C-alpha cells in the first residue's frame, strides 16, 4: 500500500496496531447527507433510515460522516449541539449572493456517531422545515437546497476526507448528485466519488421556484438545459438526482414506479429496499456494488 513493500517494512509497533492502521486506510468511506435524521427530526421514514443506515454500514466496517440542515426547531441545548469553529466562517455564493456558513456538531446517543449540521440564520432558523403554517412550500427552498449542498461539500473538503460514496436521503438533497458530478468532479476529494440517491414517502405537491435551474447555472452553466429541473416538481427533482447518480434506492413502496423506470432508462442500478428481508444488509451490499462499478454520467 502506497508503494511500501510490507515484507521490508518495519515499525517498532505492536503488530495489532499495524493491522488496525492498514484496515482503517482500506475502509470504504460513506458520506450520508439527509434532509432529516432522528433524533434531531420528528419521526418519519426518511429520518429513521437516515439514522439506521449509517449505523448499519458503520457496524459492518465502513467509515462514515453524516450531514443534515440545522433547522430552527432543533433544540440545541437538549441535543448538545456546538459550533465547530475551525470549519465555520466560510461564505457561500447562492444566486450571486454571499451567505455565511456555520457548522455545528452533535452525537447520536448510544451509537457514537456524530452528525454535522449546516447552519445559516437566513435559511434555517425558521421553526418549520419546508412549508409554512398554510402548508405552502417556502419560496426560497431552492436556494436553501443549493446552500445546503455546497455547504456539505465545502465542509467535507475542509475535513480533508474523500468519500467513496455519498448517500443522499430525500428530495431536499436532490441537487447533490448534480453538484458532485458537474462542479466538484475535478476536486481530488470527489473525483472518484459515487453517488446513491434514496427516495421515500416525502412527496410534496406543487413546484419549487421555476427559476431554480437559472440559480444553479451560477455554479453549473449547463443546468439551464436539464429538462427535469425546468419544472421542479417532486418527481422531476428526483429524476434530476437519478440522472447524475450511480445508484437509486426506493425506500418505500409508495415511491412513483415511473422513477424506477427512469433509472433503468438511464442505466442507473436500482434497489427496492422495502422488498428486502434485511434492507440494511441489502443497502450495504448495494454500496459495495456501486463502489466497484462504473460512474454514471449523463449529459
Q: Tell whether 297 is covered by a domain.
A: no
Q: Tell whether 157 is covered by a domain.
A: yes
Q: Write down the residue that cell numbers 518495519 correspond to.
A: 10
For the chain, give percent helix, strand, coil, nearest 5: 40, 20, 40
DSSP letters for 130-168: SB-TTSPBPTTHHHHHHHHHHHHHHHHHHHT---SEEEE
* pLDDT score recorded for residue 14: 44
Percent of the chain surpassing pLDDT 70: 90
Number of domains in the chain: 1
Q: Tell whether 271 is covered by a domain.
A: yes
* pLDDT score recorded for residue 99: 97
* pLDDT score recorded for residue 25: 53
CA separation for the pair 32, 151 (Å, rounded) = 14
Residue 298 has pLDDT above 60, yes or no: no
Residue 109 pLDDT grade (very low, low, confident, very high; cuts 50, 70, 90): confident
Phi, psi of 6 (to 5 degrees): -65, -25
Quote the cell numbers at residue 224: 439551464
Residue 111 has pLDDT above 90, yes or no: no
Contact (CB, 8 A) for 248 and 199:
yes
Q: Tell whether 11 is covered by a domain.
A: no
Q: For residues 139 and 293, which has the higher predicted lDDT (pLDDT)?
A: 139
Residue 18 has pLDDT above 90, yes or no: no
CA separation for the pair 153, 102 (Å, rounded) = 13
Domain CATH for 161: 3.40.50.2000
Lowest mean pLDDT among 53-62, 126-135, 176-185, 259-268: 126-135
Q: Tell whether 8 is covered by a domain.
A: no
pTM of the model: 0.89
CB atoms within 10 A of CB 172: 24
Residue 2 pLDDT grade (very low, low, confident, very high; cuts 50, 70, 90): very low
The radius of gyration computed from the CA coordinates of the chain, to the nearest angstrom, equals: 19
Q: Tell whether 21 is covered by a domain.
A: no
Residue 299 has pLDDT above 70, yes or no: no
Average pLDDT estimate for 2-8: 38
pLDDT in tens, 189-208: 999 999 999 999 999 999 99
CA separation for the pair 173, 34 (Å, rounded) = 7
List CB contacts of 292: < 8 A, sequence separation 6 or more.
Answer: none
Range of the domain at 68: 26-292
CA separation for the pair 168, 145 (Å, rounded) = 12
pLDDT in tens, 141-192: 999 999 999 999 999 999 999 999 999 999 999 999 999 999 999 999 999 9
Contact (CB, 8 A) for 119 and 40:
no
CB atoms within 10 A of CB 109: 10
List CB contacts of 241: < 8 A, sequence separation 6 or more.
Answer: 168, 171, 173, 174, 175, 176, 177, 178, 197
pLDDT in tens, 63-85: 999 999 999 999 999 999 999 99
Q: Tell whether 68 is covered by a domain.
A: yes
Residue 39 has pLDDT above 70, yes or no: yes
* pLDDT score recorded for residue 243: 97
* pLDDT score recorded for residue 112: 83
- The length of the chain in residues reads 299
Q: Tell whether 16 is covered by a domain.
A: no
* pLDDT score recorded for residue 241: 98
- By DSSP bridging, strand 247-250 and strand 113-119 are unpaired
Quote the cell numbers at residue 198: 434514496
CA separation for the pair 280, 285 (Å, rounded) = 9
CA separation for the pair 228, 37 (Å, rounded) = 27
Mean pLDDT of the chain: 90
Amino acid at each position: 500500500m502506497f508503494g511500501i513493500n510490507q515484507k521490508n517494512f518495519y515499525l517498532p509497533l505492536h503488530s495489532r496496531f499495524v493491522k488496525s492502521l492498514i484496515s482503517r486506510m482500506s475502509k470504504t468511506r460513506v458520506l450520508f447527507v439527509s434532509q432529516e435524521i432522528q433524533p434531531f427530526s420528528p419521526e418519519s421514514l426518511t429520518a429513521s433510515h437516515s439514522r439506521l443506515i449509517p449505523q448499519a454500514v458503520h457496524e459492518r466496517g465502513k467509515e462514515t460522516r453524516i450531514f443534515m440542515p440545522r433547522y430552527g426547531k432543533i433544540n440545541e441545548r437538549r441535543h448538545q449541539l456546538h459550533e465547530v469553529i475551525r470549519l465555520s466562517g466560510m461564505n457561500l455564493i447562492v444566486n450571486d449572493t454571499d451567505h455565511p456558513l456555520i457548522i455545528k456538531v452533535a452525537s447520536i446517543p448510544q451509537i457514537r456517531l456524530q452528525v454535522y449540521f449546516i447552519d445559516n440564520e437566513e435559511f434555517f432558523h425558521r421553526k418549520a422545515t419546508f412549508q409554512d403554517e398554510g402548508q405552502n412550500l417556502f419560496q426560497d427552498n431552492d436556494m436553501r437546497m443549493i446552500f445546503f449542498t455546497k455547504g456539505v461539500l465545502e465542509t467535507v473538503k475542509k475535513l480533508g476526507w474523500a468519500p467513496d460514496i455519498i448517500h443522499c436521503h430525500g428530495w431536499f438533497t436532490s441537487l447533490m448528485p448534480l453538484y458532485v458530478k458537474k462542479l466538484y468532479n475535478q476536486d481530488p476529494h470527489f473525483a472518484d466519488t459515487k453517488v446513491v440517491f434514496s427516495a421515500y414517502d416525502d412527496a410534496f405537491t406543487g413546484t419549487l421556484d421555476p427559476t431554480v435551474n437559472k440559480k444553479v447555472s451560477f455554479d453549473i452553466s449547463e443546468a439551464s438545459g436539464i429538462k427535469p429541473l425546468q419544472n421542479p416538481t417532486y418527481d422531476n427533482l428526483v429524476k434530476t438526482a437519478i440522472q447524475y447518480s450511480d445508484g437509486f434506492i426506493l425506500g418505500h413502496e409508495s415511491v412513483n414506479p415511473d422513477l424506477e423506470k427512469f433509472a433503468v432508462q438511464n442505466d442507473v442500478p436500482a434497489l427496492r429496499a422495502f422488498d428486502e428481508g434485511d434492507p440494511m444488509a441489502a443497502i450495504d451490499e448495494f454500496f459495495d456494488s456501486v463502489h466497484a462499478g462504473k460512474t454514471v454520467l449523463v449529459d
